[in-house]
Chain A
Amino acid sequence: MDNQKLSTNPTSLKTRFALRFIRSLTRIKMANTPVSSMGTLRKRSQTIKLAADCSMASAVGSKRSWSRSALLKIRSRARLHAFAKEKVVTKKKKKCNRRDVGEVVIQQEVMGANELRQIVPGGESMEFLNLLKETAHYIKCLNTQVEVMQNIVDLYSPST
């Protein structure tokens, strides 16, 4: 269509994330039977969300503390799942997992920092300054994630 649009950096965060996410999406589609009930739909959406978060974290790599803790959490949960397959991972549980990662809060300089710690993965053990830095990077990555996922959804949706 437009020659000028072809300026994507192949090594950018967006393309790295897109690569991983689409790979995992295809694996998920491969592994799943057709969605019929609400339960499986929910499960699938959780799996996809997990895949998105995981691919995002791995696209970032170990450079950021939030990505490291997110990957650690996901991998430990995967091991848990291997042993207890009947366990249903609910949203609430995910939130609890996020809080459990990391150590006890050491500093609390500004009110609301704790809330931020709960939201950003791996934030519990960070100082306020580092927390702000990680939050900035995390917001950027979330934006990328949303953008790519939105594009993929747009790809899929027109013909439905």
Chain B
Amino acid sequence: MDEKDDFDLEKRSADHLNYHSSKMLSESQFGAANDLKQSGLEPTIDIWRHQNSQNLGFDDSNLHASRSGFLQTGGGMMPQTLPEFPTDSSFIERAARFSCFNGGSFSDLGNHLSFSELMNLSANGLKPALGLQPRMTEENMNEAAQVDQREVEGTSIKETVVEFLRAPSYEAKDSDSDRQMELSMLEVGAEPAGRKGLGLKKRKRNGQDTEVERKEGAPRLQGETAKNDSETKQKKDQNPSTTAKATKHSKDSSKNSDAANQDYIHVRARRGQATNSHSLAERVRREKISERMKFLQDLVPGCNKVTGKAVMLDEIINYVQSLQRQVEFLSMKLATVNPMVDLNIEELLAKDIHQSRGGQSLYPFSPEMNMVPTQLHPSQQGLVQVGMSGTENPSDALRRTINPQLMAMNGAGYKDSNQIPNVWDNELNNALQMNFGNGAPFNSQEIDGSVPHGHMKVEL
């Protein structure tokens, strides 16, 4: 897929970056990325209007919780540095997306990016931090606590974390070595975690207090981010020597210690769980699956009580099928509707002429909404609201304007390229006029105050 290729390219290029430079870069990018994400979240409200606000909350909270929670983890260096690296390439990806689709961003743009990170990174056996934040925070808490207390016993865990943290060029290797690197990163994260901010959290040992820790960690972390990063770097330099002998993955980790760190997902093995790289990766993957299933649960109405993947999947399938059937049914309904009712050609022609006079200056023929935002904005509003109100007047006007004969007549006078969009806009503007009466032009003018709406007013 294109996204994947771009993402891989970015990661590979980031490979060659110096650790310092990438860190600095991602630090600055992180703030910007956050802003971008937040701006991208606003259109959410419109799209998901008919949905639960939970969806919106989910998207928002997913992103924000993941980012802020990540900072809040305070699990020493590890989580603090993590947001930077995911955003390193994710920021580029996001920037590319935002440039490609001019502000046509949905809520899931941000979400999508996190998911595409998930996708790309998971392919390499590493899971992005964003999607897994809540769970990982808990894990980090647990692990950091244990590492702090029992450094001897937690050696294996430490080792895995260390190596995981230090593996930058994971995408260049196959999935097995990726998992090894994942584990090594875990180790690295544990060590600095033990020495750093987690020292503050020593008093809370069990995962029960993770939320409190997170909140406490938030203000601290934001202030300490820069400091932590420098410390992380130092510790990472120290780690290669210590962990080189520790695990069988030492060779990979020592090789990677010098290269710049990429965005990777830090996963800690929970207490009492296997620290095998494969099982860790699988656990992360399972968590991702469950997270997305929850998201789908919010989408599909009436699935709150359903538990279990199989039943949930069946529900989803049924819902999608019902939606598709609904589309089919509606299209049949549209086919049966006969648009050729009495048409008032002169009236519509007059309106159309007025409309297109102003319209031609404003509408370059373009399928993209961005090119014609001002004029179409009230038009679509009219359509949407007319649809909602279901009054008779707009439907008459709309039907008349959609009349093919009318369009043919319009076509005689104007260029083909402008014909259809002009007529369409005319229809909607007529609908708008009919629906709102005298109020419509005022509304339009309030919104953009453009001159053509003055024309509409005159026509009324």
Q: Which residues of A contact B (CB under 8 A)?
A: 1-3, 5-16, 18-20, 22-23, 25-27, 29-30, 34-35, 41-42, 44-49, 51-53, 58, 61-63, 65, 109-113, 115-116, 119-120, 127-130, 132-133, 135-140, 142-160
Residues of A within 8 A of B122 (CB): 129
* In the assembled complex, B380 has its CB within 8 A of some CB on chain A: yes
Number of A-B contacts (CB under 8 A): 256
Pick from A9, A130, A138: contact of B43, CB under 8 Å: A9
- Tell me, rounded to whole Å, the shortest Cβ–Cβ distance linking B103 to chain A: 5
Instruction: Select the stretch in B163-171, B194-202, B338-346 that faces chain A.
Output: B338-346
Residues of B within 8 A of A51 (CB): 331
1/0 contact string of B310-331 vs chain A (CB within 8 Å): 1001101101110110111011
Pick from A9, A11, A159: contact of B395, CB under 8 Å: A159
Pick from B300, B369, B396, B399: contact of A139, CB under 8 Å: B300
Which residues of B from 369 to 393 have beta carbons under 8 Å from A?
A: 369-370, 373, 376-378, 380-381, 383-392
Q: Tell me, in angstroms, the Cα distance from A35 to B320 when the chains sit together.
A: 30
- Tell me, rounded to whole Å, the shortest Cβ–Cβ distance linking B37 to chain A: 16
**Additional A-B contact list (10), CB under 8 Å, known A18-B380, A128-B289:** A3-B439, A25-B402, A35-B335, A49-B328, A52-B330, A135-B316, A143-B50, A154-B387, A158-B390, A159-B399
* In the assembled complex, B446 has its CB within 8 A of some CB on chain A: yes
Chain B contact-residue range equals 35 or more
Cβ of B327 and Cβ of A52 under 8 Å apart?
Answer: yes
- Tell me, rounded to whole Å, the shortest Cβ–Cβ distance linking A62 to chain B: 7
Residues of B within 8 A of A22 (CB): 383, 424, 427-428
Q: Tell me, in angstroms, the Cα distance from A148 to B385 when the chains sit together.
A: 11
Given A35-B338, A41-B336, is A12 in contact with B384 using a C-beta cutoff of 8 Å? no
Pick from A8, A49, A135, A142: contact of B380, CB under 8 Å: A8
Residues of A within 8 A of B289 (CB): 109-110, 128-129, 132
Residues of A within 8 A of B97 (CB): 63
* In the assembled complex, B265 has its CB within 8 A of some CB on chain A: no
* In the assembled complex, B115 has its CB within 8 A of some CB on chain A: yes
Residues of A within 8 A of B16 (CB): none
- Tell me, rounded to whole Å, the shortest Cβ–Cβ distance linking B327 to chain A: 6
Q: Tell me, in angstroms, the Cα distance from A20 to B368 when the chains sit together.
A: 9
Cβ of B103 and Cβ of A153 under 8 Å apart?
Answer: no
- Tell me, rounded to whole Å, the shortest Cβ–Cβ distance linking B326 to chain A: 5
